[in-house]
Structures are given as C-alpha cells and as structure tokens.
C-alpha cells in the first residue's frame, strides 16, 4: 500500500485529468479510459478511488465547490466587512464564474456535465446548508438582514436569484448581483460596526463548512 500522501497526489492528478476532459469533451464523451490515459494511470487505478464514472465526475465538482468556499473564507479573514450579504454574494458569484465546470452545472449545460449538479448537493455534508442558514440568522440578529420573512424563505429566494444569474448567457456582472441582493435582502443602513460584530462567527461557520466538505471529498483519497 503506497503512503497516504502518494495516494492523495494520485487522486488529485486523476481529478485534474477528469476536469480537463470534461471541459474539452463533455460528460457524455469522456470515459474512465480517457481519464486514466490522461492521468497516466491504469483504468483499475481510477476505480481504486471512485467506483464509477459518475462518482469521479461528482468529485471533480465537489473539489471546485470546496475551493470556492476556501476562497471565500480567505476573503473574510482578510476583510471582515466582506461578511455583508450583498458583498459575500458578489464574491461567491464571481468565484463560481471563474470555474467553468461549476458554472456549466448552474447553466444546465447537459453537454458538459449531464445532470450532475443536483447530485453534487447530495455529496455535500448536510451541515453545509445549515451553515448558510445560520449565517443568515446571524445577520438578522444584528439587523443586517430583512426580518419580515423567515430566514429559510429568504434562503429559497436567494438561491433562485443566484441560479438565475448563473444561468443567464452571458452572465450579468457581479456588481449587479450585489446591488440586487442589497435592495432585496438588506436594510437601508448597514454599519461597519455591525459587520465587524458578526465577522468572527461568520468566519467560523464557513471555515467549519469547508472542513466538512473537504472531508467528504478526501474519503476517496
């Protein structure tokens, strides 16, 4: 049995190859054999990590999702004011746009991804979604979010807005999403004092979500 770090490096190389081929040829035209050849491993080696083609490609999407969340955590750590809902939404949206495979999923690009994106959410730890709900509840508790509707209803509305933006072609500019979220979800006045008060807990929530999702990803490593 090779050392754990060698196995992880091999898994990363396979995921890199799968991502490249998905972008180049799409889900329907990419086989395990193609991925194995591109990663310079045997076909059986791929199956040591993932039991089938769908599981492999879901891992590619999960890795992108984890990286987007990691980027968000780094941004909050560097700039606590980025916990403002409109700003955080803008950051996440821009980060997804930079990752064409994730964007393809939201855009319902069946040629590139088939119907994998809905299944991706099943791969995320259930506590991932709850972290976002708790984040909104945190904002509401500090008068940084509208309170005339239940938080879980606002989650549904936000997801519809975000998915609509990501599905548009061409996608609207991130600043437009930020303006939309500010007008639809935030009070008229937002102070830096309020944002700094919620930043530490928001950072904790998203850091915990990253750890949970990365653990899900690395189970195959």
The count of domains in the chain is 1
Provide, rounded to the nearest whole percent, the portion of the chain with pLDDT above 70. Answer: 94
The model's pLDDT over 173-205, given as tens digits with 9 standing for 90+, comes to 999 999 999 999 999 999 999 999 999 999 999
Give domain status of residue 30, yes or no.
no
The answer to whether residue 43 sits within a structural domain is no
The pTM score is: 0.88
* Residue 76 lies inside a defined structural domain of this protein: yes
- What pLDDT is recorded for position 64? 93
58: in domain: no
**Does the residue 1 lie in any domain?**
no
108 inside domain:
yes
| Start-to-end Cα distance in the chain | 13
Is residue 185 assigned to a domain?
A: yes
Question: Among 42-56, 93-107, 113-127, where is mean pLDDT lowest?
Answer: 113-127
As a whole number of angstroms, the distance between CA 153 and CA 166 comes to 20
- Name 106's Cβ contacts closer than 8 Å, sequence gap at least 6: 96, 117, 163, 166, 167
Q: Given this model, what pLDDT does residue 1 score? A: 45
- What single-letter DSSP state applies at residue 9? H
Which of 179, 174, 173, 181 lies closest to 139, judged by CA?
181
- Does the residue 163 lie in any domain? yes
CB atoms within 10 A of CB 51: 11
pLDDT, position 110: 66
163: containing domain: 64-218
């Amino acid at each position: 049995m090779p050392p754990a770090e060698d196995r992880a490096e091999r898994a990363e190389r396979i995921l890199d190859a799968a991502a490249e081929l998905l972008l180049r040829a799409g889900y329907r035209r990419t086989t395990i054999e193609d991925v194995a050849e591109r990663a310079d491993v045997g076909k059986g080696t791929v199956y040591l990590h993932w039991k089938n083609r769908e599981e492999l490609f879901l891992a590619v999407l999960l890795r992108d999702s984890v990286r987007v969340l990691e980027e968000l955590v780094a941004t909050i750590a560097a700039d606590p004011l980025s916990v403002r809902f409109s700003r955080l939404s803008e950051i996440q949206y821009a980060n997804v746009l930079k990752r064409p495979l994730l964007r393809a999923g939201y855009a319902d690009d069946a040629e590139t991804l088939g119907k994998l994106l809905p299944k991706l959410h099943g791969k995320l730890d259930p506590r991932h979604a709850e972290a976002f709900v708790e984040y909104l509840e945190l904002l509401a508790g500090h008068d940084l979010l509208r309170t005339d509707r239940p938080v879980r209803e606002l989650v549904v509305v936000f997801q519809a807005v975000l998915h609509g933006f990501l599905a548009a072609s061409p996608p609207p500019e991130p600043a437009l999403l930020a303006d939309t979220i500010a007008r639809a979800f935030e009070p008229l006045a937002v102070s830096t004092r309020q944002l700094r008060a919620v930043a530490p807990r928001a950072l904790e929530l998203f850091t915990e979500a990253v750890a949970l999702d990365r653990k899900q990803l690395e189970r195959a490593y």
